[in-house]
Structure 1
């Protein structure tokens, strides 16, 4: 690859992603301190980072147009992999969405999110000259639904919503009028309400506990959120110090290395610390949006926009859950929450955006 291409490499974006990933390992270490059951989480996450950083550079070096040329095969692969995980997947936290490879547990739906960004970007690029009518919307919906349905029945509602959000973001970028997007959102809300009786029991419980919380709860989602709010409040302006948070170290705060890592961070680094880390997430999103705006073609632009919308939605929902603004969802905080599949999904997206950056002057 020509050396001059790397002049367009966004070192700020790369540096922010690497820093966030390393900071995430540091927070995971603090969150699970003294817990022998979770002792392997830190070295495992460190291994994924050691793989993920070179992976960013490898994906960057590959011309992103290659992925567009095999997008249809990637879609078929995504559907087949989700069908397999539905059949043979290992049940975890009430969801059969994990594949035990014998060495590590893999969550295919996390990687499928990135595949769908490429697939949808390719679809909208190929149909760029089509009228923005109902048929155009329905065709893209069917394409999206073909993957989402297999994620939903695992069951994994939160990841299904992420992919739908990416789809809607691309519809908006492609010029679908806002009023039609509003109609789609309204229809989505109506559909969720209508589908409530058919949700899994734990999914119904998450929603009902958010609407009608039990103040006497001593376990479960309500208790976890209450402890998260206590942790956030305990942090004050500058936090109690790394490894010194009482809610975290005394284990009142559950799943503190995954769903509620934001609360653990708030307790130990305070309001100032959370603002800085949230600011870095915003910075990553802004750099991706800049890559989209300066991309050499529509396909590259849609990839960057799609990834930015994915990171934004996941971060907003995760932080919203920690602040008791949304029902517990299970969505990880990008780069920070424990989880190898989630981290690889995040770094793959960074690599794709960097690939778009490198080739913006070649079009």
Structure 2
């Protein structure tokens, strides 16, 4: 989901008593112990870990909320750019992957099944890169639409195709690499590499290969920095446009609102990136637990942040408001369905908003 979820694994394995899943007889899974301090171990029998349960609760809340958001977008025909649809969809897809141990009830058993751990590790590495790439595509679409508009139809179509394809290309590339390396695991060599392990301070499995983890961490860091770069360029462009619009007495709060939403999501990823960088540059054992706590917090709250940021726009809130009114009244307006009514009452804008969407407006603000 972010840069913290890639590199934190290696820090956890070096400092914690991580339990790994190793293929080999006589069991399909075996437990590997490493010297060090054991913290928040997922495989320790006993009462549920409150930190682990809190993480699952946040992820489940985000999953329910994003499901409702996607249904609202589809049924109410909320107009947004392809990059926005892609970003929200990939965020929604990532949640079942992170909750796989919860759904399979493997998060607190003595021996987690190797096949489940392998599936989660393969999909997680892919969705981490896809998420950050989709965020970059959304920032790029925001900047491009604001600067160039849609006058070049051919270029617009090419851009849309790239925006849709690139995140899934990242997903396929890293998932395939992890699956291939996982077939080359060898538990009889030291150090043991290419084995699926559970990150002891978190709730997911990953592949024990420092090389591929560092490559993906570097790639994600570059994507986050590129996103930040386009956010800065978009902010400077908004500033110039705002001065011109103020001279023409045009209200552009809707533009600034969308920019702030996207910037906040990017800032959240930058926090994770800086936290990861601090773990690579400064290896103080007394700060390791704090860094991993920050990594876990950023990781589990990112989907919820996406939900809160992008579900509080005015047209989406209007759709939910209409739905709430319908549940309290048996009468429908003019015989229309809830979302058809909302579409008529909330989507009255005819300019291109900075997230790349084309909407209709009659004096309201899309915030």
Q: Does TM, scored on the shorter chain, surpass 0.5?
A: no
* TM-score after normalising by structure 1: 0.29
* TM-score after normalising by structure 2: 0.29
Bigger CA radius of gyration:
2
